[in-house]
């Protein structure tokens, strides 16, 4: 069983609540909003637009939904390369890295379905895509969001690797490699005139 700071993942899930995680993310500078318990759909009226750093508002949102998952809008603080294991994303990522080079070391999380979220330094030209770069590879940029550690889907957790959000400071996020940016930006949806 993986441990961080001498505490097992099981111990932490028993002693830490979603609101504790949500408040800690806000203190780290990531605005948060609630998602439905056990799922990724927003639980607030305006979804990621309800994200806030205000601790009293966060406490109130989670008082109404104590087991709500934690959503963080992408775009301003980071963008995410979302690798979906169920749709062939792990194979697609391996193929891209074999062809272009490995991704740089950056913050990443394991997702409940066995995939990965790679967090990169924010860029204004990164939008949301779904399997347009390669099968099982999506992006979450401006106008999107991701669930983060402290959240469960079908009983399985999101879990950062080498970062404990309850105790650690946010690590520096890497800039995505040029080859990946070229793929992401080339597949960006065209904005209406």
pLDDT tens for 50-102 read 999 999 999 999 998 899 999 999 999 999 999 999 999 999 999 999 999 99
Are 113 and 145 spatial neighbours (Cβ–Cβ below 8 Å)?
no
Which of the residues in the chain have pLDDT under 70?
A: 1-15, 186-193
**Distance of CA 133 to CAs 80, 96, 186, Å?**
13, 10, 9
pLDDT at 43: 94
What's the CA dihedral at 150, 156, 33, 53 to 10 degrees?
A: 20
pLDDT at 15: 60
Phi and psi based region of residue 183 (left: phi greater than 0; alpha: psi -120 to 50; beta: remaining) = alpha
Q: In sequence order, what are the beta bridge partners of 138?
A: 82, 130
Are 139 and 133 spatial neighbours (Cβ–Cβ below 8 Å)?
yes
């Amino acid at each position: 069983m993986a441990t961080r700071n001498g505490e097992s993942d099981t111990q932490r899930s028993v002693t830490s609540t979603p609101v504790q995680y949500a408040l800690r993310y806000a203190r780290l500078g990531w605005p948060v909003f609630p998602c439905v318990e056990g799922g990724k759909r927003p639980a607030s009226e305006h979804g990621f637009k309800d994200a806030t750093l205000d601790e009293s508002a966060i406490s109130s949102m989670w008082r109404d939904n104590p087991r709500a998952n934690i959503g963080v809008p992408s775009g301003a603080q980071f963008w995410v390369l979302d690798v979906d294991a169920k749709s062939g994303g792990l194979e697609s990522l391996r193929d891209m890295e074999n062809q272009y080079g490995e991704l740089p070391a950056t913050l990443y999380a394991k997702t409940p379905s066995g995939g990965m979220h790679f967090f990169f330094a924010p860029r204004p030209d990164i939008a949301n895509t779904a399997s347009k770069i390669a099968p099982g590879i999506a992006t979450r940029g401006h106008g999107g969001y991701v669930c983060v550690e402290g959240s469960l889907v079908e009983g399985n957790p999101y879990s950062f690797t080498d970062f404990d959000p309850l105790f650690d400071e946010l690590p520096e996020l890497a800039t995505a490699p040029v080859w990946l940016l070229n793929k992401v930006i080339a597949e960006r949806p065209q904005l209406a005139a």
